[in-house]
Structure 1
Amino acid sequence: MTGTTAEPVARVALTPEAADVVRRLRAVHGPLMFHQSGGCCDGSAPMCFPRGDFIVGDDDVLLGLLDDAHPEAPPAHRPGEPIPDDVCPVWISGPQFAAWAHTQLLLDVVPGRGAGFSLEAPEGVRFLIRSRVFDEAERRWLDSCPAPRGRDVP
């Protein structure tokens, strides 16, 4: 997408295939969350956890909320409001966000063994991130709405 559009753009999105897996996992585990790993154990795999099983740090950044019922139109988070149970927040560490701020992350799923701590591991699939670089108009729009930090989200 190029041009001077002021259309909202999501920092993170979900493929229909990944949405199917998220729906199955939420049916078993309840509300979910993702954290985009910055390396170590499982490389830079997106990790899926039951909501509350992963402690979000004060400097972690909320990339966005994923709605598996409407993956093409992720909902926005309203500052100061709790995150509803029927959507999945996607978090990333502050330093990782600084490195990836110019890209949209697309959460996808492929056959294979999931990361050891991530909920999809027994499903025979693994989540992965695809990305694309934001165009100039998208970057300007995103600059006008900073992503919330862990300390800002109840």
Structure 2
Amino acid sequence: MPEEIPRVQLTPAAADLLRRLRAAHGPLMFHQSGGCCDGSAPMCYPEGEFRTGDSDVLLAELAVDGVQEPVTFWMSPSQYAVWSHTRLIVDVVEGRGSGFSLEAPEGVRFLIRSQVVDP
């Protein structure tokens, strides 16, 4: 039986940033919306601070070494319809992202890279 491909993965840089954010803010979550501008970037919040709806899709519970609880990764249903055939890779790049995401004061922002996967 083939090994299941994870829907969402973290780069080492993203995992390192999540460890630092977890130490400062407690348990964390991501939400990936389908909005324009910064709304199309993955947004990191304290767990439960962003309200998910019944139609939001829980794509992953990401294990981060050194962090007890997983980081949940949610996506809006419209965005999921577009990206359902991809693996999402959460990375970090220099530059300011949205002021609503926890990494904004760090001078970096989370970024999604994607790879097409077979259904």
% identical equivalent positions: 64
Helix, strand or coil for the counterpart of 1:91? Answer: strand
5+ residue gaps, structure 1: 71-84, 140-154
Higher alpha-carbon Rg: 1
Q: Does 1:28 align with 2:11?
A: no
Q: CA deviation at 1:114?
A: 2.4
More strand by share: 2
Asked if the contact 1:36/1:47 (under 8 Å) is kept, the reply is yes
Q: List structure 1 runs of 4+ shifted beyond 6 angstroms.
A: none
Partner in structure 2 of residue 112 of structure 1: 95
1:127 & 1:49 partners in 2: Cα distance? 12
Residue of 103, 111, 115 corresponding to 2:86: 103
Question: Over the residues paired in the alignment, what is the CA RMSD in angstroms?
Answer: 1.7
Q: For residue 81 of structure 1, what is the aligned residue in structure 2? A: none
- Number of paired residues? 119
Correspondent of 2:114 among 120, 131, 135: 131
Higher RCO, 1 or 2 (CA under 8 Å, sep at least 6)? 1
Classify the secondary structure of the residue corresponding to 2:40. coil
Which aligned pairs between 1:27-66 and structure 2 lie closer than 5 A?
27-40=23-36, 42-66=38-62
Q: Give the aligned residue type for 2:64.
A: D
Gaps of 5+ in 2: none
Q: Decide whether the 8 Å contact of 1:12 with 1:106 is kept in 2.
A: yes
